[in-house]
Amino acid sequence: MENLEKLEENKLKVTKASGKLESFSEAKLKKSLSYIIRGYENTVDTDLIVNQLKLEIFDGITTHDLNKALIMVTRSMIEQDPAYSYISARILLRQLYHDTIATEIDWSNLDTLYRNAFKGHIAKGLELGMLDKRLGEFDLEKIAAALKLERDYTLEYLGMQTLYDRYLLRESDLGGQIIETLQGFWMRVAMGLALAEPVADRNDRAIEFYEAMSTMRFVPSSPTLFHAGTKHPQLSSCYLNSVGDSLESIYKLYADNAQLSKYAGGIGTNWTWVRASGSIVKSTGIKSNGIIPFIKIADSSTVAINRSGRRRGAAAVYLENWHYDFEEFLDLRKNTGDERRRSHDLNTAAWVSDLFMKRVEVDGDWTYFSPEEVPQLTETYGEEFTHYYEEYEAMAARGEIKLYKTIKARDLWKKMITMLFETGHPWITFKDPSNIRSPQDHVGIVRCSNLCTEITLNNDLKETAVCNLGSFNYATHMKDGRLDIDLVKKTVKTGMRMLDNVIDINFYPTSEARTSNMRHRPVGLGIMGFHDALYQLNVNFDSEAAVIFADESMELISYHAILASSELARERGAYETYKGSKWDRGLMPNDTIRLLEKSRNQSIEVTKTGKLDWAPVRQMVHDYGMRNSNCMAVAPTATISNIVGSIPCIEPIYKNIYVKSNLNGEFITINSYLVEDLKHLGLWDYEMIGLIKYNDGSIRNIPQIPQHIKDKYKEVFEIDPRWLIRSAAYRGKWIDQSQSLNIYFSGTSGK
């Protein structure tokens, strides 16, 4: 009441950045808002914002806190209209300008101030020893002139806040002053990625990379955004390694993984080589405690690492489901039982053979072994694995194997599904297709996947597989209700070049990671905004048209990704282990479906061919080889999708309205496509907002909404998960790695 009285009497004071006090001016605030809401004048209620703000401010409030209060007011209104998300972002953007350009800004001269600030920020980063000194060798006048300031206004609030809090370069990692603007951020990353280019080409390549990122057509993964252009450019996303059956190997793994996590990498580790509980350790003659106590240590080590000061450590542990300790492995994520045999922060994943699935189908038996007694099981897959597995079963029956246990395959499958239903773990990943379809089957085994199950690369004790990720954004490639084919080609070609550059620029925390990445040069070009594209096409997710679009659009991306890698091979040379690879043998990803059919002795019900003429791609690969052993992998894209404002990766929208929580706070998220359609129908008002909130985001039980709108805007739990699987299957034949695929099941019974 006292503050309101002071407002009415024009006595409430605001403390400026200089420390000077001035009276709060409603007229000045409204004038400022009139600039901020440009383009949304017919949607945003300025009076409503101002009146709500009056309830939030106090005498002596600083301009910084006044700005924060204004953001809090407008972000609370996002549920009324997605326009308020852009308004909140613009208010935060103004704060960023004050932080990075000047406390008092001459807005009429912003263009010059912005470009000068960029050059100053590069100089500051170099002075502080944060940036690679080669960034100072660019033509900064030319680079600064290429910045597109208007693109600052394309971000929604969640994206803006995420960049502001976690991605923009600061004077120190302990919350120091921000030293880059939004466009400066995209350009710093672009310049960092251009360092692999010849000196004469670096300026033009940096601008090319900047154009792809700042328009949000292609966005690299978070480690690349964090570290490109810095003194420690650890740009890779994922690491896959294995732990050997010795204390030396186990404790080396802890140290290696700590280094990989330190620089923001996500890790997947194969633990199948480590002997099971009850087996004899030859050097001591005592029984082993198995893998569980060691995984517990790995869990604690993972939690202790804060990745780049911006993310918690994250890792996954993989175990083949014939391992004698597998049933205890299933229980690792349970919230009950002996805490010394639980790992609440490590993700667990089962590495499953086709043989096991066939045993489940026929209600057959399944036998657990300890790996030191069955050494061929970790080194084989497909028909060869089946041969050795059956031989080991026969040996066990003859008493020639000491440690084994036989159960019904269906009983184990039920336990796996039950744990997945109860805890979300262990994820189920498939050993045989990962190896049978791998382009690198001539030089090793795929022993596990990564933190998100989309990476399928060889690894062993000498090589830690590394994958370098970035994602193509469907949402920015739609034009006049269709996919812009020429723009897709342009984006994919640029994206593949950026990803290939990562390999040469990258800081490698371990020698095993460097060895692997330099030999094979794998990258993972992924996708996001798939459901955004379906909305723009007016295609329902649970339809054959969506499956066809998944198929045809991924073919287009695959075509140009493989072609781009081969063109890079012509320019830079093929990767070291190209000879003998599937590429060298003339096999494209879709060709490998027939190999999988042969191994399984059953038909896979997807089409094997596409609509494009692949002859030029095959000829190019034949003539020049490939620059990269692998080209594509569909990662989850959670954070970068937040930044660009798209629906993550290949998934349907989670809810039409909900509150998203992450390390940056809580954010209202609303389906802007739905809002626009309801506006066109004259149905968007406060009553409709209330009904959607009452139904927790779902619109299926709101009688006012037409059925075709209800069908279009089903939430993820309202879509039969078989549609996600069908789209993934048809998309997957074009991908040389894999896809991170979630199954959303709305039932309350695991049966």
Q: Where in the sequence numbering do the catalytic residues fall?
A: 450, 452, 454
User: Is residue 115 packed enough to be buried (19+ CB in 10 Å), middle (13-18) or exposed (0-12)?
Assistant: buried
Hey, is 242 helix, strand or coil?
strand
- Pick from 43, 50, 142: which is nearest to 86 by CA? 43
How does DSSP assign 333-349, residue by residue? T-SSS-GGG--SSSEEE
Question: Which pairs from 488-492 meet CB under 8 Å and 24+ separation?
Answer: 488/556, 488/557, 488/560, 489/560, 491/212, 491/217, 491/218, 492/218, 492/525, 492/557, 492/560, 492/561, 492/564
Residue corresponding to tokens 């090589």? 463
Alpha-carbon span 192 to 209, nearest angstrom? 10
User: Residue with structure tokens 């994919």?
Assistant: 492
Q: Quick one: CA dihedral 248, 254, 256, 257, positive or negative?
A: positive
Residue 239 contacts residue 267 (beta carbons within 8 Å): yes
What are the Cα distances from residue 130, in Å, to 173, 175, 261, 582?
A: 11, 15, 20, 42
C-alpha of 446 from chain center: 21
Which alpha helices (H) appear in 231-336, and where do they start and end?
247-262, 292-304, 326-330
Please report, as a single letter, which amino acid is at residue 443. V
CA-nearest of 258, 219, 234, 241 to 469 is 219
The set of residues, in sequence order, having a beta carbon less than 8 Å from that of 159 and lying 6+ positions away, is: 89, 642, 643, 644, 645
Backbone angles phi and psi of 339, in degrees to 5: -60, -25
Distance CA 194, CA 548 (A): 36
Q: Report in angstroms the alpha-carbon separations of 135 from 132, 141, 196, 230, 502.
A: 6, 13, 12, 9, 16
Give the end-to-end CA distance of the chain in Å, rounded to a whole number.
Answer: 58
Could you tell me which residues are beta bridge partners of residue 307? 311
Selection from 461, 407, 534, 554 nearest residue 272 by Cα: 461
Helices (H), 43-181: 46-54, 63-75, 83-100, 110-127, 140-145, 157-162
Residues 6+ apart with CB under 8 A from 132: 192, 195, 229, 230, 231, 233
Q: What is the distance between the alpha carbons of residues 442 and 421, in angstroms, rounded to a whole number?
A: 37
CA distances from residue 164 to 148, 215, 664 in whole angstroms, order as listed: 18, 18, 10
SS3 content of the chain, % helix, strand, coil (to 5): 50, 15, 40
DSSP states along 64-83: HHHHHHHHHHHHTTTTT-TH
Other CB atoms within a 10 A radius of the CB of residue 610 amount to: 19
Amino acid, res. 523: V
Residue pair 678/709 in contact by the 8 Å Cβ criterion: yes
589 secondary structure, DSSP code: G
